[in-house]
Amino acid sequence: MNTIDIASIDLSAPAPVNEPERQYYYIAKARACVAKKAKEIGRELTFTVTTFGCQMNARDSEKLVGILEQIGYREEADEEQADFVIYNTCTVRENANQRVYGRLGQLHHIKKSKPHMMIGLCGCMMQEPEVVEKLKKSYRFVDLIFGTHNIYKFAELVATRLESDRMVIDVWKDTDKIVEDLPSERKFSFKSGVNIMFGCNNFCSYCIVPYVRGRERSRNPEDIIREIERLVADGVVEIMLLGQNVNSYGKNLAEPISFAKLLQKVEKIQGLERIRFMTSHPKDLSDELIEVMKNSTKICRHLHLPIQSGSTRILEKMNRRYSKEQYLELVDKIKTAVPDISLTTDIIVGFPGETEEDFLETMDVVKRVRYDSAFTFIYSKRTGTPAAVMEEQVSPDVIKDRFDRLLTEVQKISAEVCAVHEGTVAEALIESVNDHDHRLVTGRLSNNLLVHLPGDASMIGKLLPIHLKECKGFYYIGEAVQ
Ligand code: SAH
Ligand code: SF4
Ligand code: F3S
């Protein structure tokens, strides 16, 4: 998606002020530095980008990879061998942070025997001032630290680090800026995430995302459509529209537009076969959207609709702004309009003040909705969020017991729900050769379930009708229909 010829950039001129031109200038600058270093050591320089967290971070990592490749680094599979290691971090739960510190310890060890190795940290964790303080104090071997708001400046930051020998730190509190048309390198040739908005304004009381991703900003529909058209021209058949709450897309644009309207525009793109989106907040899911899903031939039969808790009392304390009954009504409406829809959800167990009765309400919703799958999380206290200072934090033993009961129920139901498609033929997008058995390939059905079938790499990226022979709980064993 490169719009500027890097080789033609005049590095003796001062850096342009406007974006994205400024970043292309720094790509050229860093590229010259990297080429020089490569010559010195007699081989190409390499990188790895490790992504923690959600789809949003995965998409950001593709942007980092795109820039690194333009700078002249080559992707390396083995982190220990790489010259530049980047962690794109997540901080939604405490254990995500612990993993990063653990791995940084190991990296320090490697860096001692390989001093020219560079370590970069970015993503949501870096937006927390305490984290950056800790890194500055006890992790001096880190080379580059930046946050979620200035990821577009990555080339400039790399160039700065390559030209100095100091730790480079650049973290912004918030931004209203969206920079378009920077390079990015897709992980898959046939599918891609597409950001439609950034940030979140919902402030669910347990959640740190609004503090680390800033205020909600929607991209212009024209920019989104243009990006998807380019992706399709480049071989992409499936896209996933990304936002923390896609249902509030477009409300704050100069010319407001609804998410449902955006979907209708995207649907018209010739050559695009499948549309997914993530995540839908139940409070903003409109009848208009349900109608568009019902009539669409491209929107996948899958809706991720996080409930978080089935207890209206807890939902209120969570600041989710819907009740158990409203959620169930919404589910009914969707199932009536789109009977073959697959529903998935997120559930938090052990939110402060959650009683056994509250928990049973959650179990009740799980039994009534019968989710295809549910991501279950143990409540994690995030400093700075309202829930962190709520009284009645639930004891770990009680949480563990509830979590186990919930997981058992979720898994039992999801195996039953998954099995209903056994014996039918459904279209799958073939995504990869199976890691464990190279005679098999793995495809994704419209409802997001996976199917393993005999095949080879030539099938990757194709949409094929598959006979779903046997359900194995969470996935199928199938066979391509000739
Ligand atoms: N924007 C999305 C969710 C992003 S975070 C939405 O509103 O649905 C993904 C999931 O992490 C959330 O749905 C929630 O279930 C979980 N989560 C967020 N904060 C958490 C916390 N403090 N403890 C445990 N789980 C949390
Ligand atoms: Fe977090 Fe709520 Fe925003 Fe989702 S909608 S990112 S859970 S604050
Ligand atoms: Fe994690 Fe940030 Fe996503 S905190 S879940 S990576 S928005």
Fold annotation for 424-480:
OB fold (Dihydrolipoamide Acetyltransferase, E2P) (2.40.50)
What single-letter amino acid sits at 210?
P
Q: What is the pTM of this model?
A: 0.94
Buried b (16+ CB within 10 A) or exposed e, 418-448: beebeeeebebbbbebeeeeeebbbbbbbbb
At residue 3, the pLDDT reads: 57
Q: What does the pLDDT look like over 346-387, one tens digit per residue?
A: 999 999 999 999 999 999 999 999 999 999 999 999 999 999
Pocket test of ligand 3: the residue of 51, 91, 304, 346 to mutate, having most ligand atoms within 8 Å of its CB, is 91
Tokens 């254990």 correspond to 95
pLDDT beyond 60 at 389:
yes
Query: Annotation-wise, does 54 bind a ligand?
Result: yes
88 lines ligand 2 (CB under 6 A): no
Residue intervals of the chain classified under CATH 3.30.750.210 are: 188-300
pLDDT of residue 2: 47
The ligand placed nearest to the CA atom of residue 277 is 1
Please write the tens of the pLDDT for every residue from 81-134.
999 999 999 999 999 899 999 999 999 999 999 888 999 999 999 999 999 999
**Residues forming a β-bridge with 465:** 427
Ligand 1 pocket test, pick from 320, 377, 381 with the greatest ligand atom count within 8 Å of Cβ, gives: 377
pLDDT tier, 298 (very low <50, low <70, confident <90, very high otherwise): very high
Which residues touch 420 (CB under 8 Å, ≥6 apart)? none
Assigned CATH class of 188-300 = alpha beta
Average pLDDT, the chain: 95
pLDDT of residue 115: 84
Name beta bridge partners: 123. Answer: 89
Q: By percentage, how much of the chain surpasses pLDDT 70?
A: 99
For 60, 67, 198, 402, the CA distances from 57, given in Å and listed in that order, are 5, 15, 11, 30
Distance 277 CA to ligand 1 centre (A): 16
> What's the rounded Cα separation, in Å, for the pair 110 and 113?
6
Long-range contact pairs involving 132-138 (C-beta distance under 8 Å, separation at least 24): 132/169, 132/171, 136/167, 136/169
pLDDT at residue 175 in the model: 87
The architecture (CATH level 2) of 326-419 comes to: 2-Layer Sandwich (3.30)
Distance separating alpha carbons of residues 338 and 336, to the nearest angstrom: 6
Mean pLDDT computed over 16-45: 94
CATH 2.40.50.140 domain extents, the chain: 424-480
Contacts of 262 by beta carbon, 8 Å cutoff, 6+ apart = 196, 221, 224, 241, 249, 250
Contact 347, 448 (CB under 8 A): no
pLDDT band at 182 (very low <50, low <70, confident <90, very high): confident
The tens digit of pLDDT for each residue in 433-467 reads 998 999 999 999 999 999 999 999 999 999 999 99
Report the DSSP beta bridge partners of residue 304: 344
The enclosing H or E element of 88 equals strand 84-89
- Atom 4 in ligand 2: residue holding the nearest Cα: 244
Instruction: Establish how many alpha carbons lie within 13 A of residue 356's alpha carbon, considering only the half-sphere containing its beta carbon.
Output: 3
Ligand in closest contact with the CA of 58: 3
Which ligand has an atom closest to residue 151 CA? 3
Within 6 A (CB) of ligand 1 lie: 92-93, 206-207, 209, 244-245, 279, 281, 306, 308, 346, 348, 377, 379-380, 382
The gap between the terminal CA atoms of the chain, to the nearest Å, is 36
The set of residues, in sequence order, having a beta carbon less than 8 Å from that of 188 and lying 6+ positions away, is 431
Would you call 56 helix, strand, or coil by DSSP?
helix
pLDDT tens digits, one per residue of 35-84: 999 999 999 999 999 999 999 999 999 999 999 999 999 999 899 999 99
Judge if the beta carbon of residue 57 lies within 6 A of ligand 3: yes
Residues forming CATH 3.40.50.280 domain(s) in the chain:
6-170
Write out pLDDT tens, residues 150-165: 999 999 999 999 988 8
Find out whether 197 and 218 touch, Cβ atoms under 8 Å: yes
The CATH architecture that domain 6-170 belongs to is 3-Layer(aba) Sandwich (3.40)
Peptide bond into 386 cis (omega under 30): no
Nearest CA to ligand 3 atom 7: 209
Does 1 have pLDDT greater than 60? no
